[in-house]
Every structure is written in structure tokens, then in C-alpha cells.
């Protein structure tokens, strides 16, 4: 199925119309472009991960557990590191546990905390999913490496000013 493409850039048109009413056209154009690219990338990444039974959010959680020394982390710490709401991390963990990719258990030193522990099946799935993502250039096929570095460099001050790190 071929997607119908617009004969114009809707963000350029929105910026033109915005400028007839308000200031801040460059900022509006940049924000709208970033948000649209985020939507496009997330859809592409989810498409790549779907055969593995994952969404990008669940994939990120598995990668985080893979990177941890013991293959486990408290749910609160996972939420902090993934920068998601506690409700979201609970949902992500429930889905991964239902799929057999992680297990939940009580923290041995803090009875109030719950740990998420990646299973062997989870490790296998994350390796296969990562191979597919890397083969697809993380959804950024066709973008030269120098441009990718520039995008990261341009976005870093925005993240820093927002208190991301």
C-alpha cells in the first residue's frame, strides 16, 4: 500500500500561517518538526520491534536491565532512568513479565521495593531486537553519520536546559 503524500510540507504551511498571527515562527517550526520526527521514528521503531513482541518503550526497559550489573533494578530506579511516570513503568514491567522476558521479585534489602529481573528469554529477545534495529539504522536509514552527530549536538542544549542531565 502506497501512502498518499501531501504536495506541500504541512509544517512549512503551518509556520506561514502562524507568522500571520504570532511571533516565534522559527521556534514553532523547530518544535513541530522535532515532534513530527519523533512520531515517525517511534512508529518505525515499533514496526521493527513488533515481531519480537516489543514496543520501543518495552525494548528500552529490557536494554536498561541488560546494562545493569545484576540484570535487575528496582522499578523506581527504572522509571527514573527511562524518565517515565511510575504508572508507565508498572505497565511496561507487567507486559514484559507476561511475555516471560522479566520477573518481578521483592528487593532483598528493601522490603518495600520491587525488582525487575531480566530472564534468559529476555536477554535473547533484546539481542535479536537490537540486531534488527541496528540493521535498520535505528530507523534513520539514509542520514549521513555526520548529520546524525550534528542533530545530537543541536538537541543537547535543549535537553540540558530542560534539566535532562
What is the mean pLDDT of the segment spanning 124-139? 98
User: Is residue 2's pLDDT more than 70?
Assistant: no
User: Is residue 1's pLDDT more than 80?
Assistant: no
Report how far apart, in Å, the C-alpha atoms of 92 and of each of 3, 27, 33, 59 are: 31, 33, 28, 9
Burial 29-56 (b: 16+ CB within 10 A, else e): beebeeeeeeeeeeebbbebbeebebbb
- The CB density around residue 83, as the number of other CB atoms within 10 Å, is 9
Model confidence pLDDT, tens digit, residues 32-69: 999 999 999 999 999 999 999 999 999 999 999 999 99
Domains parsed from the chain with CATH numbers: 8-50 (no CATH), 53-134 (1.10.10.10)
Q: What's the mean per-residue pLDDT of the chain?
A: 95
Amino acid at each position: 500500500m502506497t501512502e498518499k503524500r501531501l504536495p506541500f510540507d504541512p509544517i512549512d504551511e503551518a509556520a506561514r500561517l502562524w507568522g500571520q498571527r504570532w511571533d516565534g515562527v522559527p521556534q514553532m517550526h523547530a518544535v513541530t518538526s522535532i515532534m513530527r520526527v519523533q512520531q515517525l521514528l517511534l512508529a518505525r521503531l515499533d514496526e521493527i520491534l513488533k515481531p519480537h513482541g516489543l514496543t520501543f518503550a518495552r525494548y528500552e526497559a529490557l536494554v536498561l536491565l541488560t546494562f545493569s550489573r545484576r540484570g535487575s533494578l528496582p522499578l523506581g530506579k527504572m522509571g527514573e532512568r527511562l524518565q517515565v511516570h511510575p504508572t508507565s513503568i508498572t505497565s511496561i514491567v507487567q507486559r514484559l513479565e507476561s511475555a516471560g522476558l522479566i520477573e518481578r521479585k521483592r528487593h532483598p534489602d528493601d522490603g518495600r521495593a520491587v525488582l525487575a529481573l531480566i530472564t534468559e528469554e529476555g536477554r535473547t529477545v533484546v539481542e535479536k531486537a537490537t540486531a534488527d534495529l541496528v540493521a535498520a539504522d535505528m530507523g534513520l536509514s539514509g542520514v549521513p553519520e555526520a548529520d546524525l552527530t550534528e542533530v545530537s549536538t543541536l538537541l543537547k542544549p535543549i535537553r540540558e536546559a530542560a534539566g535532562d542531565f
